[in-house]
Structure 1
């Protein structure tokens, strides 16, 4: 068994284009990086990579030591890591890999490596520091020298300190100023915490790739956005017509009118994504195939419950079915009760959901390869 011990450096701070392969090459890299900046944590990571390789070889296992590096926090950097990993796997007969990292940012690349070779372990290096005043000073100095940390922590704090006196002068109310600052900081933390900044930075590349590859989802996303806007305006106009009926009825009226548009918009976007997966001739997950049915079912159930509450509040009249005659069948007119209306929407939602499960199971059975019949 041969194991690849690889150190992943996403931002490319080691200053070399990867991959760097071999015991002597990595040893020379340790010397170069250490002489350039002895306080750099990459020195410890490179030494840990050599240490793990030596332990594997002492146990009688064949091990290949390597370093792959990117060029920063971007999609191009991740692709560079992927290309270097492909080269290592192609040139060296390795069965598994052990990944050495020194940060959560580098650990985000583990799935890229794992998609190309089995990863048996992830070794994250944490440098031990003494907890005295001098060490704290140097830690703060390193923190202030890190551009990414400065932009994430110091910028919001500085903006809040500048905004507080301005809001206090405009609003003349401490509570209002503090609430506004807390709200903005909360939005910023959610923006960073959910990785929205990474999604926004990668959005132009994804749109460009969608244009060049002719993906159907690009059109359906635009259609979905347009339908969602129609739902917002239709719901807002309907809610504005409720007058002074109370905030709860305004929200219910908005949901009753806008939910069908939102469900249709989400279904259009999900359908486009499903078509792209089918055209790519790849195995489509059952969750993606069932998503359009689930969205329609949820929309029906929400519309049923909001209609129930609005009819109970007297906003809507009961549904009246007129008398009609079809051939020998004659039906007298009747009034649908409030519970009957709710039961109809709930039953329709359950029925659509079951249809989605049936469709997904049928598609999964069709895609399952036939077993070979023994001779």
Structure 2
């Protein structure tokens, strides 16, 4: 029977140990964990992760005293990006398991994010127990104020809480300065609503990935950096053209559907161009440096073109049958337009699939020839 080897694990999901104490994780061993707890405690004595690390070391000592084969470790995630942090935790844990050959785990945490951490750990190793460290303190008004103050000092919480409040106050002041106090509530509610939708649908993370990719391409000196900047500028033009189209083709009180149709009619080709330019830069980088990824990326501009073509046809059809003044396409022409553009979009997608298949074969043949 194989002897059990237990891992006592403390997970710092927001990587305070790296962000505040400047310690790279994973941290392995009793002395290394104690040193990490001491440095984090000196950097921020009020951080609950300090107590979690000490609890992990205490659990390690108790199990070692009973003669069990046990090791202790601390793993950190990411302070600013939870998705990347969770992936880092999973990778670090897999690396730790392969390195130490542990067969079971005791998870120690401060109880704040167990619902996120526990499934990640369980996907890699059986969890025999979860120990939560809750620091006892007197719940009074001063303590509540102190907790709120600490939350607002954290950059992650500040971005979520302070940004919508600050934006609402700024728009409210701007409406009064503009001499239109009647629009103040409209601006504030609309801006906060858009912000909440961005957070709810994770669009802010999408833009975060775009900024991260832009930064990485700049640091590597990649051609895609120039392409991304160009795509951003074209996207700004797309928004301007969409708003111009709204002024020309959107009748007052015509409804939300025609509002979006008018905006898309004027902006869709600019957005398509921005997407194709950005992806073209990535394709050039793949050809030069990462040919194995080329077959997965080469299809994207064709799909962007296909979707843009179909959406343009649909918006043209909606505007043509809505009796919009001065719209260049008649109702009969709108039916023809949507049919032609739908067929063209589908053909564009099929061409992209064919080129992706041919590119995949080319990459495979190139690898074989290099081996020979």
With the shorter chain as reference, the TM-score category is: 0.5 to 0.7
Q: Residue 309 in 1 paired to residue 314 in 2?
A: no
2:50 is aligned to: 42
Structure 1 position 213, deviation (Å): 1.9
2:59 is aligned to: 51
Query: Helix, strand or coil for the counterpart of 2:298?
Result: helix
Distance 1:51 1:280, change over 3 A: farther
In our comparison, the structure showing a higher alpha carbon Rg is: 1
Structure 1 position 245, deviation (Å): 8.3
- Do 1:296 and 1:349's aligned partners in 2 also have CA atoms closer than 8 Å? yes
RMSD: 5.6
Query: Helix, strand or coil for the counterpart of 2:354?
Result: helix
Partners in 1 of 2:172 and 2:265 — Cα distance? 43
Distance 1:307 1:188, change over 3 A: closer
Q: Please identify, of 140-149 and 164-173, the stretch whose mean Cα deviation from structure 2 is larger.
A: 164-173
Structure 1 position 343, deviation (Å): 1.8
1:145 is aligned to: 150
Query: Helix, strand or coil for the counterpart of 1:66?
Result: strand
Structure 1 position 341, deviation (Å): 3.4
Structure 1 position 143, deviation (Å): 3.7
Query: Helix, strand or coil for the counterpart of 2:299?
Result: helix
Distance 1:252 1:39, change over 3 A: closer
Structure 1 position 295, deviation (Å): 0.9
1:7 is aligned to: 10
Query: Helix, strand or coil for the counterpart of 2:16?
Result: coil
Larger proportion of helix: 2
Distance 1:53 1:196, change over 3 A: farther
Q: How many residues align?
A: 337
1:272 is aligned to: 281
- Do 2:10 and 2:75's aligned partners in 1 also have CA atoms closer than 8 Å? yes
Query: Helix, strand or coil for the counterpart of 2:293?
Result: coil
Partners in 2 of 1:151 and 1:230 — Cα distance? 32
What's the CA shift string for 1:243-292, capped at 9, x where partnerless?
96875667645433432222121111122223334433264286643321
Q: Residue 300 in 1 paired to residue 309 in 2?
A: yes
- Do 1:7 and 1:49's aligned partners in 2 also have CA atoms closer than 8 Å? no
Distance 1:157 1:127, change over 3 A: farther
Partners in 1 of 2:172 and 2:334 — Cα distance? 55
What's the CA shift string for 1:292-348, capped at 9, x where partnerless?
1111111111222233334443733569xxxxxxxxxxxxxxxx9654433221111
Equivalent residues in 2 for 1:97-176, closer than 5 Å: 102=110, 103-104=112-113, 119-120=124-125, 126-128=132-134, 134-135=138-139, 137=141, 138=143, 141-146=146-151, 147-148=153-154, 151=158, 155=162
Query: Helix, strand or coil for the counterpart of 1:64?
Result: strand
Distance 1:211 1:150, change over 3 A: closer
State TM-score, norm by structure 2.
Answer: 0.62
Equivalent residues in 2 for 1:194-343, closer than 5 Å: 194=202, 196=204, 203=211, 207=214, 209-237=216-244, 240-242=247-249, 247=254, 252-281=261-290, 283-284=292-293, 288-312=297-321, 313=323, 315-317=327-329, 338-343=334-339
Q: Please identify, of 49-58 and 185-194, the stretch whose mean Cα deviation from structure 2 is larger.
A: 49-58
Q: Residue 353 in 1 paired to residue 344 in 2?
A: no
State TM-score, norm by structure 1.
Answer: 0.62
1:66 is aligned to: 73
